[in-house]
Structure 1
């Protein structure tokens, strides 16, 4: 098995467990360039989303790019996306979610995003 198949197997089993509980899913996905976060209900409807492609996030990143190197900017973006998704979800009344990391290991960007969402008020 290659890395992608292993990650997809982990993500599939996690999604099955969350679907049985019928909770809101806090889904995180990342690529080499961007990071995405969504909150999805058990009917597979996206309620809240945030990503590094949003225009407001791009403006904030542009201000920090002059001062930081690439790795530090990416960690800053992960924290920012976590805070934004938590604020948006609390605004519509979602406080408890199940964390779906899409099979990614819980370290680095995924860990920073989750911790910043917890600090902003989400519970999982």
Structure 2
């Protein structure tokens, strides 16, 4: 078995905890880079993505100053919540990945809650 880096270990640890707590709910997964932020609602049982949003989309790109700030994260959170509700999803479990629940990750989560997702 290959040795995992610190971030890979942290990501796996969080993912294990999230899946254990999921109770059949779908997972709202967040990925952030230095320039953008991405969110997906994933059905782990079926193995497919139900809804997704990111700052790379044309609809968001024009209205945002940058894809790497709290305002962009709020816009993505609101959009992914809208799309998840349209797909019939209201309850999810939040997967922050290797990122601490702070700043952009927290802003995305709060916006998704305001958009109607429960977690």
TM-score, length of structure 1 as denominator length? 0.82
Distance 1:10 1:83 in 2: 27
Distance 1:78 1:119 in 2: 13
Gaps of 5+ in 2: none
Deviation at residue 86 of structure 1 after TM alignment? 0.5
The C-alpha deviation readout for 1:71-92, integer Å capped at 9, x for no partner, is: 9x71110100000000110111
Q: Which has the higher strand share?
A: 2
Structure-to-structure mapping, 1:66-85, within 5 angstroms: 74-85=69-80
1:6 aligns with 2:6: yes
Length, aligned pairs only: 113
Deviation at residue 29 of structure 1 after TM alignment? 0.2
> Equivalent residue of 1:121, what SS?
coil
Distance 1:22 1:11 in 2: 20
Corresponding residue number in structure 2 for 1:29: 31
Structure-to-structure mapping, 1:81-120, within 5 angstroms: 81-120=76-115
| Conserved 8 A contact 1:25-1:99 | yes
Gaps of 5+ in 1: none
Aligned-pair Cα RMSD in Å: 2.0
TM-score, length of structure 2 as denominator length? 0.85
Corresponding residue number in structure 2 for 1:60: 63
The C-alpha deviation readout for 1:25-81, integer Å capped at 9, x for no partner, is: 1000010011000000023211100000001011212xxx3xxxx69x711101000
Corresponding residue number in structure 1 for 2:41: 39
Corresponding residue number in structure 1 for 2:54: 51
